[in-house]
Amino acid sequence: MKIAIPVDEKSLETSVGQSFGRTPYYLIYDTVSKESVFLDNSAVASQGGAGIKAAQTIVDNNVNALLTPRCGENAAEVLKAAHIKLYKTIKASIKDNIDALNEGKLSLLEDIHPGFHGHGGK
């Protein structure tokens, strides 16, 4: 299974990024081959709709599951349309979350937030 995790740095030792759409990088990890690839998040500085663009990147990388602390409704809609499963991360460490997923200890992310669709100055 191919999974994606928003991360702060391009390293397996880094912590989970706190925003799905605005995180600087994604870790794409294959749970079978143990192969890992880091992607730049091209949506990080978007004027708006970062979650949508980020989700498109995740979909285009043929990911099966996303591990994230939170996710906005627009991103969730894109991911749902691509049948990508959303799991809620439980710890800061990447490795702990991957282990937890492998052991079936991660629960599905249910609380999809309304997103921050502000356009400055409100």
Given the rule CB under 8 A, which residues bind other proteins? 43, 46-50, 52-53, 55-56, 59, 74, 77-78, 81-82, 117, 119-122
Q: Of 111, 95, 119, whose CA–CA distance to 29 is shortest?
A: 95
**Closest CB to other proteins among 16 and 50?**
50
**Closest CB to other proteins among 12 and 44?**
44
**Closest CB to other proteins among 34 and 119?**
119
Q: How far is the CB of 83 from other proteins (least distance, A)?
A: 8
Exposure of 116 in the CB half-sphere (CA atoms within 13 A): 12
Q: How far is the CB of 1 from other proteins (least distance, A)?
A: 18
Strand partners, 88: 68
Q: How far is the CB of 30 from other proteins (least distance, A)?
A: 21
d(CA 62, CA 68): 17
Is residue 29 a contact partner of residue 11, using CB atoms and an 8 Å limit? no
